[in-house]
Structure 1
Amino acid sequence: MTPMIRRCVRWGTLAVLGLGLACTRAASVPASPPARPSLVVLVVVDGLRYADVERWRERFGPGGFRRLLEGGVVFDAARYPYATTQTCVGHATVATGTLPERHGIVANTWYDREAGAKVSCVLDAESPSLDGSGGAGVSPKRLGMPTLGDALLGARPSSRVLAVALKDRAAVMMAGHRGTAFWWGKEGFTTSRHYAQALPEFVATWNAGRPQVAGTSWERSAAPALYAQLGPDDDVHELPPQGFGRVFPHLIPPGDGFLYTPSGADQLLDFGLAAVRAEHLGTRPGAVDLLAVGLSTVDMVNHAYGPDSHEALDTLLRVDRALTGFLSALDQEVGAERVLVALTADHGMGSAPQPGGRLDGARVTQALEAALDAAYGEETWVQAFTTPYVYLRPEALAARGVRREDALAVGARAIGALPGVAQVLTDTQAQSHDSRGLTPAVRASYFAPRAGDLTVLPVSGVLLAPDADCAGWHGAPYEYDQHVPLMLAGPGLKPARHARPVSPADVAPTLAAWLQVPLPEATGTPLPEATPPAR
């Protein structure tokens, strides 16, 4: 009973006659709309299939995935509409609200015709890492569109935008051009000179005191009967990293071995909380901040063991617990009523291929070389293959006087005849408005300055990769790679599920509505079911 009602009751009949009307009026005044969030948290779970969230939802605790599944707005039909479902592409799409045809990130790596070499999506020699690893520099210079974080900082310069992930490409794409990205480097989290001249003090402090898990054992965290639903633990298709076996328990080796265990997620989220506290995200007067988290662990375990393995299930259960602790800590640090959480994935994952279900790049290029040799004479015709693109050598075409269009037609027929190939498109076909087959998905992926001369698409369930060192893979235009979770929970959002088709490209425009910033370049649209309640 509220204080006002208690006073009304105590005052008796006179109070009812004289002041009852005031009580009625006070009770009928509509509640004030919830305050806008001071911290928006975007969580992208690398390699998380929608099907796995639904399959194991009853095994999750109430504070992690189920916090959003049961207490948030859930979109059951969120799918990427393009073909190259890879990590860098997905993070760029979520962060910018645009597709690869516009943001220009066509794969994790591609062949740079000007540089004459394969390049990473975040490669920038002028931005060396600050961890002294001596590796290639990293920056967002190849990202052709502004991100949500860029829009926020443009409209509110006092805001702060941080992105943390185990993978550099995940953090960089989400931080955008103006935010700050941190990723796992040589011996801890790092950044590059694009973002800072020296590591912030909180990063150095966290790295110095980070948990050491080498030599500890990764055991199953649930009853054996649960894992038995997936079949035997020892699966010959599993290809664990060096130092690991195929069966539980797993002794975690020194170095970066922990990245292939749930400990990677634990450490990432702990580092994310350290960033929240050090940068006072969401707690400064008038703060409107963005924290993006790239949970890379699910993807890394899926690649090593396959998404239907005992290890993949245990990782998902443990990531759920880590997410519970992370969100609970944010509630305490910032306030549950001041935090908006959006969760999605950058792509799904194909199951470990069965015998005959692998198609490596060598077979693709050999078929193309043989066909062009037979048609025009011996040359080195192929410049590069990076999934799913084949690049021809212009010099070879010129030396033999071969029209490019003719060579592409010959090559497309030769590769298309290989077992496991569903469709091969020339660059002209990839940019056409043909609505048949997989062409629309390829067109949405295609950015001509970077995409290949030929695009090779595997049959559903076939792993197409430059090599065969993974148990599970992604990058195909099929349900298992395109269908991902998408859910939001925050102040004023009532629990609801929606079955209409949406895209992860809709996430950035939706969050822009919450942050009250323009995002005019986005081709995704705000999701009205998850935009701020009317004020």
Structure 2
Amino acid sequence: MHKQLASLIASICVVLGIRGSSVAADRPRLVILISVDQMRSDYLTRYGDLFLPASIPDADGRRQVGGFRYLEASGAWHVDAQHSHFPLFTGPGHAVELTGACPYKSGIVGNYWYDRRSATNRYCVEDPEGKIVGNDIKTKLPDVSPRSLLVTTVGDELKMATGGRARVWAIGLKDRAAILLGGHLADGALWFDEETGNWVTSSYYATNGILRPWLRELNASRLVNQFTNAVWNFEKTKALDRVWTWTEASSHSTTGTNYQAFTVSPMGNDFVFELAKRVIEKESLGQIQTEGRQAPHASDLLAINLSSNDYVGHYYGPDSAEMLDVTLKTDTQLSAFFNWLDQRKLLAQSLIVLTSDHGVSPLPAQMRSDAHFSGAIGYEAEVQSSVQRFLADRYGVRGTNSPVKVVEFNVYIDPSDLAWTNAAPSDIHDEVARFLTDTHTNGVYVAYTKEQILKGQLPRTDVAMRVMNGYYPGLSGDIVLVPQPYWIQLNATSKYKSSHGSPYAYDTSVPLLLSGPGITPGIFTEPASTLDIAPTISFLLGVIKPSGAEGKLLMSVRR
């Protein structure tokens, strides 16, 4: 009877195409997620003819691989990939990539939000207990950890499923990118200190308060100096005449009073790739180690954030010669990294996923002058003043405390400062939201109250769906603002010429390329979400998807 049942089950599996062994055979030795900060999806088609070919013959007649076009040719290109939340900032975007969870689950509702208990702005990875490790002096870097991330990552689930044998690392110039990609159980998350030029981490990861010996040696070698005190020359790229935002400059100095200037250039990504290679070598990522192991080798994971693309976009805009040049340099950097992996017999056995945390708006000033939109750069303080004036006109003023705080697209109103009005907080929220929506003051397209959001009373629109996906009670504001197209909102100290954050295509549309074991090559036109990345990687690794994941398996997974 048991043999008949087993035979029947096997027959059903054959008919349905279920082959358990093929899933295990497709399991990658190494997963590498590359998040190109602020890369829009259109860069792949807009500049595709300028990228290296998928395959390149070298001087010895051997074949080398390209960058973006290698991924497109050897793997799956999801051409209609988007983020599904609002707002589109670095913190929420990177949290989504390896959790598969929107901010309403992950708790990462922005880069910053207002903490009512401390009455201060809170950084998304802020943690007073996560002391900086790697510097001999105290710098401006905040103390940080992943404790604000309220769900698990792919790396977390991989560590638990393998009894800790899998090795998980995340790196990037930005602390929030590395931490939110790495998660809670990573072996290490590393980021850059612009004051000292050191790679650093948090005592959350380095519990003994000391960097690994190889990392201390890397910092001591001052490798960083090879990428600084130079000139970023993009004269040849500018001569291509492929940009809309014109500039008289054809080069920028990477020299500065600290190590910040070179990060706003392709050299910042060069430095990150050097670290990626050190992590792979020194931590033996993707390399089978059988000594002392009874269980099968566990797959490893490395997440890489390329922040320099984001810095360039902020300072020069997406249609500039600088952005074109940093994108072309990223292509050549990817090619060099892939060939380095190939020399170590890792490329064919690695699952490579390339995406981005968000896009970017064209320069608001140029959209206003050339395309006649009403776009502009606004500031949080301006919105705050407008709401304060409205409340003063509506209810009068008592005391000197301001009841209003604006952080990113969230408006927080302290009910205790308006208790004397006897108005219900929900009524105050509703009046402020109507005022902002009706007048479109400070570039506001629409404003929704927390009561509307939590009760599911928003209209059935794409924008409203993203707002709901981005709202976490207690962290998000009493009112959420959505800007008009080509309006960006900055804090008072920012010198950016462009930014991101909106629910519009230029911010939500990002590249999504996958290449390696378990992936069917081809172009996939079905809509895809960045929420789908974590469940897809988890499936290919044979582990449960992260706790907050809600995406689906991508169509490119080999059936």
Gapped regions of structure 2 (runs ≥ 5): 1-20, 54-65, 290-296, 369-374
Per-residue CA distance 1:495-521 (angstroms, 9 max, x = gap):
211111111011011000111101262
How far does residue 42 in structure 1 lie from its aligned partner after superposition?
A: 0.6
CA contact (8 A) 2:403 2:415 kept: no
Per-residue CA distance 1:180-216 (angstroms, 9 max, x = gap):
2101123221101000021111212222221423331
Q: Is it true that 1:395 corresponds to 2:416 in the alignment?
A: yes
Per-residue CA distance 1:287-330 (angstroms, 9 max, x = gap):
41000001111111101111111111111111111111112112
How far does residue 222 in structure 1 lie from its aligned partner after superposition?
A: 3.5
Q: Which residue of 1 aligns with 2:255?
A: 253
CA contact (8 A) 2:243 2:321 kept: no
**Distance in structure 1 (CA, Å) of the matches to 2:69 and 2:355:** 13
Deviating more after overlay: 354-363 vs 60-69: 354-363
CA contact (8 A) 2:144 2:202 kept: yes
Q: In structure 2, the residue corresponding to 1:105 is in which secondary structure? A: coil
Q: In structure 1, the residue corresponding to 2:240 is in which secondary structure? A: helix
Q: Is it true that 1:361 corresponds to 2:380 in the alignment?
A: yes
CA contact (8 A) 1:382 1:390 kept: no
Change over 3 Å in CA distance of 1:433–1:151 after alignment to 2 = farther
Letter in 1 for 2:389: A
Change over 3 Å in CA distance of 1:520–1:147 after alignment to 2 = closer
Change over 3 Å in CA distance of 1:525–1:410 after alignment to 2 = closer
Counting only pairs closer than 5 Å after superposition, residues 443-454 of structure 1 correspond to structure 2 as 443-454=468-479
Q: Is it true that 1:158 corresponds to 2:177 in the alignment?
A: no
CA contact (8 A) 1:97 1:506 kept: yes
Change over 3 Å in CA distance of 1:221–1:266 after alignment to 2 = farther
Q: In structure 1, the residue corresponding to 2:525 is in which secondary structure? A: strand
CA contact (8 A) 1:503 1:524 kept: no
Q: Is it true that 1:350 corresponds to 2:361 in the alignment?
A: yes
**Distance in structure 1 (CA, Å) of the matches to 2:242 and 2:305:** 30
Aligned mate of 1:493, from 508, 519, 523: 519
Change over 3 Å in CA distance of 1:371–1:514 after alignment to 2 = same
Q: In structure 2, the residue corresponding to 1:50 is in which secondary structure? A: coil
**Distance in structure 2 (CA, Å) of the matches to 1:521 and 1:215:** 45
Q: Which residue of 1 aligns with 2:71?
A: 68
**Distance in structure 2 (CA, Å) of the matches to 1:146 and 1:395:** 36
Deviating more after overlay: 101-110 vs 348-357: 348-357
Deviating more after overlay: 202-211 vs 103-112: 202-211
**Distance in structure 2 (CA, Å) of the matches to 1:227 and 1:119:** 43
Gapped regions of structure 1 (runs ≥ 5): 1-30, 235-246
Aligned mate of 2:205, from 192, 195, 209: 195
Counting only pairs closer than 5 Å after superposition, residues 44-123 of structure 1 correspond to structure 2 as 44-62=35-53, 63-123=66-126
Q: In structure 2, the residue corresponding to 1:122 is in which secondary structure? A: coil
Q: Is it true that 1:333 corresponds to 2:344 in the alignment?
A: yes
How far does residue 268 in structure 1 lie from its aligned partner after superposition?
A: 0.3
Q: Which residue of 2 aligns with 1:406?
A: 427
**Distance in structure 2 (CA, Å) of the matches to 1:366 and 1:388:** 14
CA contact (8 A) 2:34 2:354 kept: yes
Q: Which residue of 2 aligns with 1:230?
A: 244
Per-residue CA distance 1:353-385 (angstroms, 9 max, x = gap):
125512222221111111110111114444421
Q: Which residue of 2 aligns with 1:182?
A: 190
**Distance in structure 1 (CA, Å) of the matches to 2:277 and 2:103:** 31
Q: In structure 2, the residue corresponding to 1:500 is in which secondary structure? A: coil
| Shift >4 Å, 4+ stretches | 31-35
Q: Is it true that 1:479 corresponds to 2:505 in the alignment?
A: yes
Q: Is it true that 1:512 corresponds to 2:541 in the alignment?
A: no
Q: In structure 1, the residue corresponding to 2:526 is in which secondary structure? A: strand
Q: Is it true that 1:458 corresponds to 2:483 in the alignment?
A: yes
**Distance in structure 2 (CA, Å) of the matches to 1:453 and 1:350:** 26
Change over 3 Å in CA distance of 1:520–1:188 after alignment to 2 = closer
Deviating more after overlay: 358-367 vs 295-304: 358-367
CA contact (8 A) 2:534 2:549 kept: no
**Distance in structure 2 (CA, Å) of the matches to 1:35 and 1:149:** 18
Counting only pairs closer than 5 Å after superposition, residues 233-244 of structure 1 correspond to structure 2 as 233-234=247-248
Aligned mate of 1:41, from 27, 32, 40: 32
Q: In structure 2, the residue corresponding to 1:284 is in which secondary structure? A: coil
Deviating more after overlay: 123-132 vs 517-526: 517-526
Change over 3 Å in CA distance of 1:113–1:479 after alignment to 2 = same
Aligned mate of 1:279, from 277, 283, 286: 283
Could you say which structure has the larger radius of gyration?
1
Letter in 2 for 1:109: Y
Deviating more after overlay: 165-174 vs 359-368: 359-368
Q: In structure 1, the residue corresponding to 2:118 is in which secondary structure? A: coil
Percent pairwise identity: 32
Aligned mate of 1:270, from 266, 271, 274: 274
Residue-pair matches, total = 491
How far does residue 228 in structure 1 lie from its aligned partner after superposition?
A: 5.0
Deviating more after overlay: 413-422 vs 501-510: 413-422
Change over 3 Å in CA distance of 1:249–1:447 after alignment to 2 = same
CA contact (8 A) 2:353 2:513 kept: yes
**Distance in structure 2 (CA, Å) of the matches to 1:333 and 1:471:** 42
Change over 3 Å in CA distance of 1:392–1:290 after alignment to 2 = same
How far does residue 430 in structure 1 lie from its aligned partner after superposition?
A: 2.4
Q: In structure 2, the residue corresponding to 1:529 is in which secondary structure? A: coil
How far does residue 165 in structure 1 lie from its aligned partner after superposition?
A: 0.5
Q: Is it true that 1:372 corresponds to 2:391 in the alignment?
A: yes
Q: In structure 2, the residue corresponding to 1:181 is in which secondary structure? A: strand
How far does residue 492 in structure 1 lie from its aligned partner after superposition?
A: 5.1
**Distance in structure 2 (CA, Å) of the matches to 1:524 and 1:332:** 37
Letter in 1 for 2:177: A
Letter in 1 for 2:247: D
How far does residue 429 in structure 1 lie from its aligned partner after superposition?
A: 1.7
Q: In structure 1, the residue corresponding to 2:130 is in which secondary structure? A: coil
Letter in 2 for 1:365: Q
CA contact (8 A) 2:178 2:304 kept: yes
Q: Which residue of 1 aligns with 2:329?
A: 318
Q: Which residue of 1 aligns with 2:551?
A: 525
Q: In structure 1, the residue corresponding to 2:47 is in which secondary structure? A: helix
Deviating more after overlay: 162-171 vs 511-520: 511-520
How far does residue 74 in structure 1 lie from its aligned partner after superposition?
A: 1.0
